[in-house]
């Protein structure tokens, strides 16, 4: 369970990557804490307005309020 990073390490290992080379998108402070604990980057998804500052304060590398920018980035647009 987060913030323990085991699931992140298992996912990275399954992709033959270091967690440092991964990005976690999550909607909770514990997601950000887990990512930081293994030097992964994180995007906080603030699906409620009160989460914006909490995710930023937790150290998310970026905070978004919609997943559209991420979907466009993955699509290459």
- Helix H or strand E segment including 54: helix 51-58
Percent of the chain with pLDDT over 70: 96
Q: Assign 77 a pLDDT band (cuts: 50, 70, 90).
A: low
- Partners of 24 in the beta sheet? 42
Model pTM? 0.89
Q: Are the CB atoms for 49 and 29 separated by under 8 Å? A: no
pLDDT tens across 41-52, in order? 999 999 999 999
Crossing angle of the two packed helices 51-58 and 29-37, in degrees rounded to 10: 10
């Amino acid at each position: 369970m987060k913030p323990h990073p085991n699931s992140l390490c298992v996912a990275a290992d399954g992709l033959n990557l270091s967690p440092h080379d991964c990005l976690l998108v999550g909607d909770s402070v514990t997601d950000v804490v887990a990512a930081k604990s293994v030097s992964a980057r994180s995007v906080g998804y603030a699906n409620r307005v009160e989460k914006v500052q909490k995710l930023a304060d937790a150290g998310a590398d970026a905070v978004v309020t919609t997943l559209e920018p991420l979907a466009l980035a993955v699509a290459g647009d």
